[in-house]
Every structure is written in structure tokens, then in C-alpha cells.
Amino acid sequence: MGKYKIVAIIGTRPEAIKMAPIISLFKKDKNIQLITISTGQHKELLKPIFKLFKIKPDIELDIMKENQSLVDIQNNVLTKTYKELSEIRPDLLLVQGDTSTVLASSLAAFYLKIPIGHVEAGLRTNDIYDPFPEEMNRLLVSGLATLHFCPTKLSKDNLGKENIKKNTFITGNTVIDSLLILSKTIKNKPSGLTKNILLTCHRRENFGKSIEEIFDTILEIAKERKDVNFIYPVHPNPNVKNLAKEKLSNVENIKLIEPLDYLDFVKAMKDSYIILTDSGGVQEEAPALGKPVLILRENTERPEAVSCGVAKIVGHNKNKIKKEIYKLLDNKEYYKSVAKGVSPYGDGKASQKIKKIVINFLDSKKQK
């Protein structure tokens, strides 16, 4: 048995991707007994990630229900993680990001007086409804966490403004660790005359009128520009899937496909010319691969890529989306200035830094 008992909790696909290198590193240390809990918030989307990174959860909570509400998720995760944590009594709970799983499990740990290590801490848009509910989840978890692993100086500064200054560390983002490990195994595909535009669009705050406007814009561009292919791995949420089928089906240069496993998604990013997304993780991954990112949101908690000039916020405004896509397609010098492979989110060694901080913290705690 390890000297220290640590629980890593995962609920969604992005959490699994970003926790994978940490889990792998901690599992190799004989002084650590790492217990991985999967809540199953993204049940089907988690399986291929676990397989890819060779993660076998020690405990599966299986909270997923059809058409579950945010309240359902919070209640189920809180109740079930409280039960597991009260039996395991770990020295530390590791959580990642801003999901309902992260907030509910952190609350359970707080009730049991278990220290919490928050991976990807300090991201802010300063609008509690954008992204929803993630922005408020982050704020609340920051108030509960003991160790704050910030991906950038800006995220650490955000915590400082909220008077959270103790145990805040700049580590980089673990998604770059995962991305660089996998991208080394992928060969670049020769680009042809047709340019691929990879689309991901699934965020809750875009449901309704916003996503309709985005899809209408995609349809318009596809009809005007036969030199592009839109590749859209459609999220299984009915609010997205049904509308995508209604609006974008049967168009020759729009490919609606099933969600990709992470390795295939990394391949799709590498093969793309432009990436159009409302995803948080893609905003971190694409710049590291030298791909221009257009952000389908009014706000981003990851402004570093925008500041570096490798990403641009276009929201759901048709004119903005079209203007930026056409500029990237038609202006080679502009494209080169955006596709410059700058990663403001780390050097691929975030997991190593986090592990060192965790061990130092637990050692010092033990000596007291």
C-alpha cells in the first residue's frame, strides 16, 4: 500500500483527457495509492478515453440518466461521492476543471474535511452565466480547494484578485501533456485542394437561437465555398443532434459524423485548416498544433490564446464568422500569422509539476 492515498475523480470526456497523464504518473509511484472514481457524467464518451489512456476506474458510480437536469447530476454525484470518500478517507481529492462532477465531489470532500487539489484552477470569464454552469462551478470550487494548479499566470492572477493567494501554482495545462504524447504518434496528412474546417459546437449556453444562427452560417458558407469541407463530430445531446440533422444534413461538403475518440479527434485537428469551436479544451489544443481557432462564444475563460493572436472570438454572429473564415482562407499571410504554433498553455510537463507539489504538500502535512 502506498504512503499516501489519493482519489482522482472523473466525470466527463475533457476531465478524462486532462487527468490521464496525472493518473498515469501517480500510478507509477509506489508511495501513492491512487484510486480513480468515474461518475459517468459522460458515460459513453468516457469509455474510449479510458481505453486510449489505459485507465481502469476503481469505482464507477454510473450516475447518467436520460435527460438529466443539473440538479439531478449534482444530487447524484454529491450523494455517491460522499459515500465513497467517507469509506476511502483519502489524503487528497484531485479534481479537474469546472463540471458538475467537480463541484459536487469537491463539496463532498469539503464536508469530510478532505483537502482538494484543483487542476486547471483560476479560469474566469467574469460572467456567471457564460459558460453556464461552468463559470459558477469554478468560482465555488476555488473557494473549496486547498491546492490550486493554475495553467497560466493569468489564471493565478485571477485567483489573487479573489484573495486566493495561498497554495496557488502555475503548472501549465495537462491537456498539452496528453496532446503532445498522442500527436507524436500521428503523421501529418498531405493537404489537398479542399481545406477542412473542423467544427465542434455543443455548449449549453449556445442552445436555441444561437446554435441555429451558427448552423445557418455554416450552411451558407458551405454553399458559397466549394473549396472547403466542414467536418462536424455531432455531440449526442438531443438539443444539438436533432438540429444538426435538420439543418446540415444532405450537404455535399458538410460531413456530420459520430463523436470521435480522442486519438481520431487529434488527427482531425491536425488535418484541419481552421477550427471552429465553442469547446474550452479545443481552444488550448489547437494553438499547440498550429491551427487557427475561431471561438463560437461571446466570452472565453481562456483569453491567452486570443492575446497571442492564435484565436479569435466570433460568437454566433454570421458576419463575424464569415469574415474571419474567408480571411483565413483567402489571405495566406494572415493565415501564417495566426497558424504559428504558439501554446500559451504549457510545455507538456504540467503533470510532473503537479505531482511534485502534491507530494511536497502531503509530506509537510504529515510532519505537522
Task: Work out whether strand 4-10 and strand 274-277 pair parallel, antiparallel, or are unpaired.
Answer: unpaired
Question: How far is residue 38's CA from residue 142's CA, in Å, rounded to a whole number?
Answer: 21
Catalytic residue among 202, 225, 297, 302: 202
302 is annotated as an active-site residue: no
298 is annotated as an active-site residue: no
Catalytic residue among 84, 91, 98, 285: 98
How big, in percent rounded to 5, are the helix, strand and coil portions of the chain?
A: 50, 15, 35
Length of the chain: 368
Catalytic residue among 29, 212, 213, 235: 235
316 is annotated as an active-site residue: no
Q: State the DSSP string of 36-95.
A: EEE--TTHHHHHHHHHHTT---SEE-----TT--HHHHHHHHHHHHHHHHHHH--SEEEE
Amino acid at 279: S
Catalytic residue among 134, 135, 284, 301: 134
Catalytic residue among 204, 213, 261, 264: 204
Which cell numbers hold the place of 79? 450523494
Cell numbers 498531405: residue: 190
Q: In what order do the strands lie in the sheet with 59-60?
A: 59-60, 32-38, 4-10, 92-96, 116-119, 147-150, 168-170
Catalytic residue among 120, 177, 304, 324: 120
Q: State the DSSP string of 186-225.
A: -PPPPP-SSEEEEEE---GGGTTHHHHHHHHHHHHHHHH-
Cell numbers 504549457: residue: 346
204 is annotated as an active-site residue: yes
Q: What are the b/e assignments for 137-169, b being 16+ CB within 10 Å?
A: bbebbbebbbbbbbbbebbbebbeeeebeebbb
Q: How far apart, in Å, are the Cα atoms of 36 and each of 5, 31, 98, 294?
A: 11, 16, 18, 35
Phi then psi for residue 225, to 5 deg, are -125, 100
Strand stretches in the chain, DSSP E: 4-10, 32-38, 59-60, 92-96, 116-119, 147-150, 168-170, 195-200, 228-233, 254-257, 274-277, 293-295, 311-313
Return the active site residues: 98, 120, 134, 202, 204, 235
